[in-house]
Amino acid sequence: MWGIELNRRSELPLWRQIYQSLRDRTINGKLKAGEALPSTRELAKELNVSRNSVCQAYDMLVAEGFVISRQGAPTRVAEGLCVERLSGSVTYENIEPVRTFAADFRTGRPDLRQFPRFLWQQMLHKTSGEIQLERYGYTGPQGLPELRKEISSWLFRNRGLTADPQDVFITAGATHALHLIADLLCVEGRKVLMEDPCHTGMLRTFHNKGCPIIPIPVDEQGLQTEYLTSEGTACIVYVTPSHQFPLGGILPASRRASLIRFARENEVYIVEDGYDSEFRYCGEPIMPLHSMDPQRVIYVGTFSKALFPALRIGYVILPRQLQKQWRDLRTYADVQNPPFEQAALAELLRTRKFDRYIQKMRRIYGERRRVLLESLNQTFGSGWCAYGDAAGLHLTVKFPGMRFDDAFRKNCLESGISITPVEHHCIQKERHLNKLLIGYGHLEPEEIRNSIRLLYNFINSSYAVTG
């Protein structure tokens, strides 16, 4: 009857099913303008439902203007409702199924199996219970004061960085921070100077914002500052000076000084991404560039590597002159971070349980790095060399004479090996073709050994060494 098929087991109430069927039929033109609907009594009888359900459906159709009801006259379909259906169906693109790999060398992955879930649940439980009711309201775009205070004191005791909690702004991770930074600074076509190679995610964040990119080459020590160029049109230099992503260099003091001079002379901001600065295995954490000029350097930090990526908490230390605009931007973008995870993280930091976890993970990751180097030695012999500082969750390895491009990456994937050539992160191609990135932080020693063997077999069977 009237194309209405009711499903009495559905969670959708009967009145809503009637309403939706009639509404759809007016939109797709099956019910024409001016056509009369049956009386509520008639339709209720036909459908074997209460008259109340039909009345409710008709009232909704009247309220939304799909039908017109007049006293003493039948309810009729309104004018101008029919919308043609667009031809062709829209398909979902690029949805990558969750895959497991025989050898998983993806970068930037902390070992979630080590994460103290119970402790984290306790922190969440405790702080959610204690949180004041006003924290359920709008708590401001800068983040909870106790978290900003704890981050500031962690940065001081861990890296010697002095930052006033007033200058710390909580974000939903480093990627989010870069979005806001781009909105703040990349105006009127001003350019972003990026390390090349750099993290494709960070590059795309700026690129998606429409920022023109100028690649600046990187060597074993990091950004090659002699190539910095601006002609007055740049607004940002993006750098990872403590552990260059992906090559792993530590930016030397002289290059740090020239970078700061360049930024001052050209009035550009340096965006310092300290993405994995907690994990250094030979010596103390590197002092951030930020300390050289807190008014020129925007320091970006994240808890994605130290804790877990889905936490989505990061922060920026922002020069004073940008703070008002930042507050404005954030308020009218996504407003703020939720307070519960912020409060739990503040508690983890305050009780120093965070410090102990980082210490433990530093030992574990350091040991895994050692196992990786040993496995490479045992399987590949002397045909490789490691790049960069002993830090982070991945190792960059150079295989002289080899060529690792996108085709190599795809072939590896087909064989169940997920590995990224440095080339994948290059803006200007063909300069780092013989280097691979081996993410190891998330792998147990035995998984590292087995995975390196698989990689060796794959390379040996598919790729002849060319010189």
Ligand X SMILES: Cc1ncc(COP(=O)(O)O)c(C=O)c1O
| Chain residues in the site for ligand X (CB under 6 A) | 108, 173-175, 199, 201-202, 240, 245, 273, 275, 302, 304, 309, 314
Based on CB atoms, which residue is closest to ligand X, 61 or 348?
A: 348
Cis previous bond, 294, omega within 30:
no
**Smallest distance from ligand X to CB 316, Å:** 11
Of 236, 252, 258, 250, nearest to 189 (Cα)?
236
Exposed/middle/buried for 226, CB within 10 Å: 0-12, 13-18, 19+?
exposed
**Smallest distance from ligand X to CB 56, Å:** 47
Strands (DSSP E) contained in 73-120 are 76-77, 103-104
Based on CB atoms, which residue is closest to ligand X, 2 or 115?
A: 115
For the chain, state the CA radius of gyration: 29
**Smallest distance from ligand X to CB 14, Å:** 47
**Smallest distance from ligand X to CB 173, Å:** 3
Based on CB atoms, which residue is closest to ligand X, 173 or 319?
A: 173
Dihedral, 339, 345, 348, 349 alpha carbons, nearest 10: -110
**Smallest distance from ligand X to CB 311, Å:** 9
Based on CB atoms, which residue is closest to ligand X, 56 or 107?
A: 107
Do the beta carbons of residue 311 and residue 303 sit within 8 Å?
A: yes
Residue 419: left if φ>0, alpha if ψ -120 to 50, beta else—which one? beta
Based on CB atoms, which residue is closest to ligand X, 185 or 454?
A: 185
**Smallest distance from ligand X to CB 123, Å:** 20
Do the beta carbons of residue 148 and residue 165 sit within 8 Å?
A: yes
Alpha-carbon span 274 to 242, nearest angstrom: 7
- State which H helix or E strand residue 317 sits in: strand 314-317
**Smallest distance from ligand X to CB 148, Å:** 17
Residue 429's CB: how many other CB atoms inside 10 A? Answer: 12
Based on CB atoms, which residue is closest to ligand X, 75 or 244?
A: 244
Alpha helices in 334-352 (DSSP H): 339-350
Based on CB atoms, which residue is closest to ligand X, 75 or 240?
A: 240
Return contacts of 371-380, CB within 8 angstroms, 24+ apart. 371/440, 371/445, 371/448, 371/449, 372/438, 372/440, 372/448, 372/452, 375/448, 375/449, 375/452, 375/453, 376/452, 379/452, 379/453, 379/456, 380/456
Do the beta carbons of residue 277 and residue 425 sit within 8 Å?
A: no
Based on CB atoms, which residue is closest to ligand X, 142 or 304?
A: 304
What does the block give as tokens for 302?
């994240």
**How far does Cα 308 stand from its chain's mean position?**
12
Based on CB atoms, which residue is closest to ligand X, 241 or 294?
A: 241
**Smallest distance from ligand X to CB 386, Å:** 19
Based on CB atoms, which residue is closest to ligand X, 15 or 206?
A: 206
**Smallest distance from ligand X to CB 301, Å:** 8
Alpha-carbon span 115 to 39, nearest angstrom: 63
Do the beta carbons of residue 307 and residue 115 sit within 8 Å?
A: yes
**Smallest distance from ligand X to CB 378, Å:** 29
